[in-house]
Amino acid sequence: MEPTINFFSGFNFKDLWFLGEAALRTMWISVLSVSIGTVLGMFFGWLLYEGKLVAALTVAPILDIFRSVPLIIQLVLFYNFAPIVGLNLDPFGSGVVILTIYTAALVASVTRGGIEAVDTPMRRAARSLGMSYWQDLRYVVLPIGGRAVFPAWVGVALGVMKDSALVSVLGYVELLKASQILITRTQEPFLILTLAGAFYFALSYPISRYSASLEKRWVQ
Amino acid sequence: MFDYNFHWRPVMKNLPDLIEAAFLTLQVAVLAMIIGIVIGLCLALIRLHLKGPLYWFASSWVELARNTPVLFQLFFFGFGLGAFGLHLSPYVIVLAGLSFNCAGYLAENFRGGFQAVPDTQIRASRSLGMTAWQAYTRVIIPQVFRIVYHPITNQLVWAVLMSSLGMLVGFRELSGETQFFASRTFRIFEYFAVTAVIYYAIVKIVLLASRLLAARLFRY
How far CA B33 is from CA of B14, B149, B180, B195, in Å, comes to 29, 13, 26, 22
Residues B162-176: what's their mean pLDDT?
88
Residues A62-67: what's their mean pLDDT?
90
Q: Are B68 and A166 in contact (CB < 8 Å)?
A: no
Q: Are B189 and A80 in contact (CB < 8 Å)?
A: yes
Residues A162-168: what's their mean pLDDT?
91
pLDDT in tens, A24-60: 999 999 999 999 999 999 999 999 888 878 877 888 8
Amino acid at B145: F
Q: Are B63 and A183 in contact (CB < 8 Å)?
A: no
pLDDT in tens, B96-110: 999 999 999 999 999
A190 to chain B: which residues are within 8 Å by CB? 80, 83-84
- Cα dihedral B39/B42/B47/B48 (nearest 10): 140
A193 to chain B: which residues are within 8 Å by CB? 72, 75-76, 79-80
Query: Closest Cα of chain A to B177: distance in Å?
Result: 12
Residue A187 lies in a domain: yes
The CATH number that applies at residue B152 is 1.10.3720.10
Question: Chain B residues contacting A, CB < 8 Å?
Answer: 2-4, 63-64, 66-72, 75-76, 79-80, 82-84, 157, 161-162, 164-165, 167-168, 175, 188-189, 192-193, 195-196, 199-200, 203-204
Minimal-distance CA residue of chain A relative to B186: A80
Query: Closest Cα of chain B to A73: distance in Å?
Result: 7
Q: How many CB pairs under 8 A join A and B?
A: 102
Query: Closest Cα of chain B to A119: distance in Å?
Result: 24
Query: Closest Cα of chain A to B171: distance in Å?
Result: 14
Could you give the number of structural domains in chain B? Answer: 1
A13 pLDDT above the threshold of 90 = no
Residue A35 lies in a domain: yes
Could you give the number of structural domains in chain A? Answer: 1
Query: Closest Cα of chain A to B35: distance in Å?
Result: 22
Q: Are B188 and A197 in contact (CB < 8 Å)?
A: no
B10 pLDDT above the threshold of 90 = no
Residue B201 lies in a domain: yes
Residues B89-94: what's their mean pLDDT?
91
pLDDT in tens, A92-132: 999 999 999 999 999 999 999 999 988 889 899 999 999 99
Specify the pLDDT at position A4: 64
Residue B4 lies in a domain: no
Residue B39 lies in a domain: yes
Minimal-distance CA residue of chain A relative to B73: A197
A101 to chain B: which residues are within 8 Å by CB? none
Minimal-distance CA residue of chain B relative to A160: B69
Residue A155 lies in a domain: yes
Residue B29 lies in a domain: yes
Q: For all residues of chain B together, what is the average pLDDT? A: 89
B94 pLDDT above the threshold of 90 = yes
Q: Are B189 and A166 in contact (CB < 8 Å)?
A: no
Decide which of A61 and A55 is more confident. Answer: A61
B27 pLDDT above the threshold of 90 = yes
Residue B7 lies in a domain: no
> How many Cα atoms sit within 13 Å of B208 on the Cβ side?
6
Specify the pLDDT at position A180: 87
Q: Are B67 and A201 in contact (CB < 8 Å)?
A: yes
Residues B133-151: what's their mean pLDDT?
89
DSSP state of B168: G
Domain carrying residue B134? 13-217
A9 pLDDT above the threshold of 60 = yes
Three-state secondary structure of chain A = CCCCCCCCCCCCHHHHHHHHHHHHHHHHHHHHHHHHHHHHHHHHHHHHHHCHHHHHHCHHHHHHHHHHCCHHHHHHHHHHHCCCCCCCCCHHHHHHHHHHHHHHHHHHHHHHHHHHHCCHHHHHHHHHCCCCHHHHHHHHHHHHHHHHHHHHHHHHHHHHHHHHHHHHHHCCCCHHHHHHHHHHHHCCHHHHHHHHHHHHHHHHHHHHHHHHHHHHHHHC
B1 pLDDT above the threshold of 60 = no
Rounded to two decimals, the ipTM of the complex is 0.87
Query: Closest Cα of chain A to B25: distance in Å?
Result: 12
Q: Are B21 and B174 in contact, with CB atoms under 8 Å apart?
A: yes
The percentage of chain A sitting over the pLDDT mark of 90, rounded to a whole number, equals: 45
Specify the pLDDT at position B17: 87
Domain carrying residue A54? 15-219
Specify the pLDDT at position B169: 87
Lowest model confidence (mean pLDDT) among A205-209, B2-6, B158-162: B2-6
Specify the pLDDT at position A83: 82
Which of left, alpha, beta for A171 (phi over 0: left; psi -120 to 50: alpha)? left
* Separation CA B217–CA B214 (nearest Å): 5
Minimal-distance CA residue of chain A relative to B65: A201
B3 pLDDT above the threshold of 80 = no
Q: Are A84 and B189 in contact (CB < 8 Å)?
A: yes
Lowest model confidence (mean pLDDT) among A37-51, A177-191, B157-171, B195-209: A177-191
Rg (CA), chain A: 22
* Separation CA B160–CA B23 (nearest Å): 11
The percentage of chain B sitting over the pLDDT mark of 70, rounded to a whole number, equals: 98
The percentage of chain B sitting over the pLDDT mark of 90, rounded to a whole number, equals: 51
The CATH number that applies at residue A52 is 1.10.3720.10
